[in-house]
Amino acid sequence: MGSVLPLAILLSTALGDFAPQQAGSEPLEPALEARVQKLGKQLRCAVCQGLSISDSPASMARAQLDKVRSMVAEGKSDEEIRAYFVERYGEWVLLQPEAHGINWLVWLGPVALLLIGFVVIARQIQKKPAAAPEANAEQQSKRPAHAQGDDDEYLARVRAELER
Amino acid sequence: MSWRWSVLIAAAACAALVVILAKGFGKDPHEVPFMLAGKPAPAFSLQKLDGTGKITLAELKGRPVVINFWATWCGPCKVEHPVLDWGYRQYARQAEFLGVVFEDTVDNARSFLQMSPTPFPQLVDPQSQIAVDYGVAGVPETYFIDAQGVIRGKHVGPLSPDALTARIKDLVQPVAQAR
């Protein structure tokens, strides 16, 4: 079976076996059709990569959009239609995840990261360079003994040489 | 904020990221979740492909049902075809077998079945509405419904004889034993 399957796929592709394009259901009146398309934009096509069922040319997406259309025509609410698809395909089907449970992380995570960033930047700006004099003193103490202060004998000799 | 707090928050953020990534990478991103396992199978009433009437799920209640969604343009469905034929001959006494043509024309399906007939009924699903009701995400997909009308599970991709046998055995067991 394992070796036959890729061969079958290759052959069927080479022989031009593609899903015949089926006609979708008739569009509803403009206001209702706008709802169908809006809902379709929120639902992920099962056989595509990140495309909504409104945007996908796949036959599966067309079938799903037809289902949305028939449910809208039956008078189902947007919430009922979304629930119908979630019941079958899980929350995976929603291109915009619902804000509950661990999904809050998706919604609030970027905001929290931004806030943390602002706090860090604000703290860095407010920080006074209090450590600077101490650091200078430390640097001074690390210099060789002959290089410290104006009374350094070596320095005095260099200055004298330069003034000549 | 002391450096200890900063380290703690950074460590917590990294741990959360690792958990999320581990969860994400542990899954096949192309796998469509199936949520109807353990739930009542959606009712249907579909016309037979040979034009000899309709079949409803309700009339099959009390018998396990195997429903295969397929199409003539689907290579793996053709590979699976003889397995289902064998499965029907082997297990027809244990379960009802049905085929549902998915996103295909009646003419294509009839031509294919003239060359490779199946011993079990084939049904037409206009605009694939029953396929969507069942949460089909591609073909071939095979659904296993127990005698109480509850979906026990589905097989995505072509069935092998071993997989079909295992599914049928599971299907004819009472729910308590199956779990």
User: What are the tens digits of pLDDT across the range A123-147?
Assistant: 888 876 665 555 555 665 665 555 5
Average pLDDT of chain A is: 80
Least confident of A71-75, B26-30, B109-113: B26-30
Q: Using CA atoms in the order A101, A107, A113, A115, what is the torsion angle rounded to 10 degrees? A: -110
Average pLDDT of chain B is: 91
pLDDT digits (tens, 9 = 90+) for B120-168: 999 999 989 999 999 999 999 999 999 999 999 999 999 999 999 999 9
Residue B16 lies in a domain: no
**Does B36 contact chain A (CB < 8 Å)?**
yes
> What is the predicted pLDDT for the residue at A136?
59
Interface contact flag, A24 B127, Cβ < 8 Å: yes
Residues 125-154 of A with CB under 8 A from B: none
pLDDT at A4 over 80: no
Interface contact flag, A1 B133, Cβ < 8 Å: no
Interface contact flag, A63 B75, Cβ < 8 Å: no
Of B9, B76, B103, the CB nearest to A19: B103
Mean pLDDT, rounded, for B34-60: 96
Neighbours of B132 (CB within 10 A): 25
pLDDT tier at A74, thresholds 50, 70, 90: very high
- In chain A, which ranges are continuous DSSP H helix? 4-14, 30-42, 59-73, 78-89, 103-126, 131-142, 153-163
What residues form DSSP beta bridges with B156? B141
Buried-exposed string A44-70: b where 16+ CB fall within 10 A, e elsewhere = bbbbeeeebbbebebbbbbbbbbbbbb
Residues 23-52 of A with CB under 8 A from B: 24-25, 46-47
ipTM score = 0.84
Nearest of A40, A120, A109, A123 to residue A78 by alpha carbon: A40
Tell me how close the Cα of B9 comes to any Cα of chain A, in angstroms: 10
Of B76, B134, B160, the CB nearest to A9: B76
Strand, helix or coil at A160?
helix
Buried-exposed string A117-152: b where 16+ CB fall within 10 A, e elsewhere = eeeeeeeeeeeeeeeeeeeeeeeeeeeeeeeeeeeb
- In chain B, which ranges are continuous DSSP H helix? 3-25, 75-91, 106-115, 129-133, 161-172, 175-178
In total, how many domains does chain B have? 1
Q: Which tokens in the block code for residue A131?
A: 């450590």
pLDDT at B1 over 70: no
Interface contact flag, B129 A63, Cβ < 8 Å: yes
Residue B94 lies in a domain: yes
User: Does domain A4-96 fall into CATH 3.40.50.300?
Assistant: no
Of B9, B73, B105, the CB nearest to A17: B73
Interface contact flag, A1 B135, Cβ < 8 Å: no
A vs B: CB pairs below 8 A: 93
Nearest of A84, A74, A68, A80 to residue A35 by alpha carbon: A68
Mean pLDDT, rounded, for B69-73: 95
Residues in chain A: 164
Least confident of A12-21, A144-153, B155-164: A12-21
pLDDT digits (tens, 9 = 90+) for A87-125: 999 999 999 877 777 777 777 888 888 998 999 899 888
> What is the predicted pLDDT for the residue at A154?
86
* Single-letter residue type at A151: D
Q: What are the two backbone dihedrals, phi and then psi, of residue B146, each rounded to the nearest 5 degrees?
A: -80, 180
Nearest of B178, B174, B162, B151 to residue B57 by alpha carbon: B151
* Residue range of the domain that includes B59: 27-172
How remote is the C-alpha of B89 from its chain's centroid?
A: 20
CATH number of the domain that residue B124 is part of: 3.40.30.10
Interface contact flag, A1 B78, Cβ < 8 Å: no
**B151 or B175: which leads in pLDDT:** B151
Q: What is the pTM of this model?
A: 0.74
Domains in chain A: boundaries: 4-96, 102-163
Of B73, B129, B138, the CB nearest to A66: B129
Beta carbons of B125 and B143 less than 8 angstroms apart? no
**Does B153 contact chain A (CB < 8 Å)?**
no
Strand, helix or coil at A1?
coil
Distances (CA, A) of B133 to A3, A88, B12, B29: 33, 8, 42, 23
Interface contact flag, B75 A67, Cβ < 8 Å: no
Beta carbons of B75 and A4 less than 8 angstroms apart? no
* Nearest chain A residue (CA) to B158: A5
Interface contact flag, A8 B76, Cβ < 8 Å: yes
Q: Kindly report whether the peptide bond that precedes residue B174 is cis, defined as omega within 30 degrees of 0.
A: no
What does the alpha-carbon distance between residue A118 and residue B23 come to, in Å, rounded to a whole number? 29
